[in-house]
C-alpha cells in the first residue's frame, strides 16, 4: 500500500469541490485493506472510503483523515442453467461498465442503468430507481467486508437493504465529533455476490439505451453529484423543491439544476460552503424533513448532514 500525503480531492469527485486529504491510498488487494485499517488505528485517524466521488463533496482545506479508494475491479461469472446467474464483483468496479459488460453475455442489470459510481458505493447506499423502484439490494446474495480486524461475509438479510439505506450506512461513523473518543471503524466493503436474471443480449442493450435516453432528457450532465435529497414517502424530493420555488436557486458557484431540481451543479471555483448554503436553504424552506443523500464531509472527517 502506498500512502500519499496532502492529496487533492476535488479531481476525485464529480462536483470537483474539495481540498486535500491528509493521507490517501488506493487499495488493490485484501492485504492493502488490512494494512490501511492498521495504519488508521495506529495513527488514530478516521478512515473514509471513497468510490468514484459521485455522491461526495469534501470541505475546502485539509481533511484530517485517511481516505481510501478500492481500485480492485475483478469480475467472475459462474455459468448457470438457472433463471439467474451468480457473479462475484469487486467493490471498485465501475457500475455502468459492469452493466454493459454482463449485458453482452445475456445478464440483465439494466434497471440500474444511468447510476454513476462504483459497485461498492452502490451497495453502501443501496442505489436504485427510487422508493418503489428496483435497487441493487434486490440482486444481492452476499457482501464480503473487512470488519473488526477480520473478513466477514454478510448475507442479504444482514445487509438490511431499504430505500437508499443499508447496514453499511447504519454502521457507527468513521468519525466521532469528539476526537478524544476511541474511533469506531465501520466495515470496508470489498466485494459482492449478485444474482442476475437472464435475457437476450439484444433486448438488454435496447433497454439500456432507452433508460440512458430518458436520463439524458431529464437529468443534468454538468458537474453534478446526482440526487441530493431522499424522497419523502411517495413524494420525490425534486417535486418538493420545485413547489418551494427553489429550482435554479444559486449561491456562489453552486446551483440547483434547472433541469432536475434534486441535482446540484457546480461551476469552476465553487466551494464547499456554497454547496452547504444551498442545501441549508432547501432544508429551511421545505416544512417536511428532507434527508440529505449526499455525503458532505467536513475537515475533521465528520458529516455536515
pLDDT in tens, 196-213: 999 999 999 999 999 999
- Is 246 buried (19+), middle (13-18) or exposed (0-12) by CB count in 10 A? middle
pTM: 0.92
Query: Domain 220-297, what fold?
Result: 3.90.78
Taking each helix axis from N to C terminus, what angle separates 201-218 and 95-103, rounded to the nearest 10 degrees?
150
Top pLDDT among 239 and 226 is at 239
**Residue labelled with grid coordinates 455459468:** 79
Q: How far apart are CA 147 and CA 66, in angstroms?
A: 17
With a cut of 90, say whether residue 12 has pLDDT above it: yes
With a cut of 90, say whether residue 28 has pLDDT above it: yes
**Residue labelled with grid coordinates 436553504:** 281
User: For residue 4, what pLDDT is reported?
Assistant: 98
The contacts of residue 11 (CB under 8 Å, 6+ apart) are: none
Decide yes or no: CATH 3.30.420.40 for domain 75-175+185-214.
Answer: no
Distances (CA, A) of 229 to 25, 175, 219, 279: 29, 22, 15, 9
274 within 8 A of 265, measured Cβ to Cβ: no
Domain ranges of the chain: 3-70, 75-175+185-214, 220-297
Question: What confidence tens digit (pLDDT) does each residue in 267-292 have?
Answer: 999 999 999 999 999 999 997 788 99
User: For residue 170, what pLDDT is reported?
Assistant: 76
The pLDDT mean for the chain works out to: 92
What is the rounded average pLDDT of the residues 99-117? 96
User: For residue 13, what pLDDT is reported?
Assistant: 97
User: For residue 160, what pLDDT is reported?
Assistant: 95
Same fold, 3-70 and 75-175+185-214: no
With a cut of 80, say whether residue 77 has pLDDT above it: yes
Cα 238 to its chain centre, rounded Å, is: 19
With a cut of 80, say whether residue 178 has pLDDT above it: no
114 within 8 A of 212, measured Cβ to Cβ: yes
Cα 29 to its chain centre, rounded Å, is: 21
Percent of the chain with pLDDT over 90: 79
Out of 4-13, 91-100, 175-184, which region has the weakest mean confidence (pLDDT)?
175-184
Cα 270 to its chain centre, rounded Å, is: 21
User: For residue 183, what pLDDT is reported?
Assistant: 53
Grid coordinates given for 31: 492485504
278 within 8 A of 263, measured Cβ to Cβ: no
Identify the CATH class of 3-70: alpha beta
User: For residue 176, what pLDDT is reported?
Assistant: 42
DSSP structure class, residue 136: G
What is the rounded average pLDDT of the residues 63-70? 95
Amino acid at each position: 500500500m502506498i500512502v500519499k500525503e496532502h492529496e487533492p480531492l476535488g479531481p476525485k469527485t464529480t462536483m470537483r469541490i474539495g481540498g486535500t486529504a491528509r493521507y490517501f491510498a488506493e487499495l488493490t488487494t485484501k492485504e492493502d485493506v488490512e494494512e490501511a485499517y492498521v495504519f488508521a488505528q495506529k495513527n488514530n485517524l478516521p478512515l473514509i472510503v471513497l468510490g468514484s466521488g459521485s455522491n461526495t463533496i469534501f470541505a475546502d482545506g485539509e481533511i484530517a483523515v485517511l481516505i481510501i479508494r478500492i481500485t480492485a475491479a475483478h469480475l467472475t461469472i459462474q455459468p448457470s442453467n438457472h433463471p439467474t446467474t451468480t457473479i462475484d464483483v469487486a467493490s471498485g468496479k465501475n457500475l455502468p461498465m459492469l452493466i454493459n459488460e454482463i449485458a453482452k453475455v445475456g445478464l440483465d442489470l439494466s434497471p440500474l442503468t444511468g447510476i454513476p459510481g462504483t459497485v461498492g458505493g452502490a451497495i453502501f447506499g443501496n442505489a436504485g430507481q427510487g422508493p418503489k423502484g428496483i435497487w441493487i439490494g434486490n440482486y444481492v446474495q452476499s457482501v464480503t467486508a473487512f470488519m473488526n480486524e477480520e473478513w466477514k461475509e454478510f448475507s442479504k438479510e444482514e445487509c438490511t437493504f431499504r430505500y437508499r439505506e443499508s447496514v453499511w450506512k447504519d454502521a457507527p461513523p468513521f468519525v466521532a465529533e469528539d476526537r478524544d473518543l476511541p474511533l469506531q471503524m465501520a466495515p470496508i466493503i470489498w466485494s459482492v455476490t449478485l444474482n442476475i436474471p437472464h435475457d437476450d443480449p439484444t433486448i438488454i442493450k435496447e433497454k439500456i439505451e432507452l433508460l440512458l435516453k430518458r436520463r439524458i432528457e431529464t437529468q443534468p450532465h454538468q458537474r453534478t453529484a446526482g440526487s441530493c435529497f431522499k424522497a419523502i414517502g411517495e413524494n420525490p424530493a425534486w417535486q418538493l423543491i420545485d413547489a418551494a420555488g427553489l429550482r435554479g436557486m444559486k449561491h456562489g458557484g453552486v446551483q440547483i439544476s434547472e433541469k432536475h431540481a434534486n441535482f446540484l451543479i457546480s461551476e469552476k471555483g465553487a466551494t464547499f460552503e456554497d454547496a452547504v448554503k444551498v442545501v441549508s436553504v432547501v432544508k429551511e424552506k421545505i416544512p417536511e424533513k428532507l434527508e440529505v443523500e449526499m455525503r458532505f464531509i467536513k475537515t475533521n472527517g465528520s458529516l455536515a448532514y
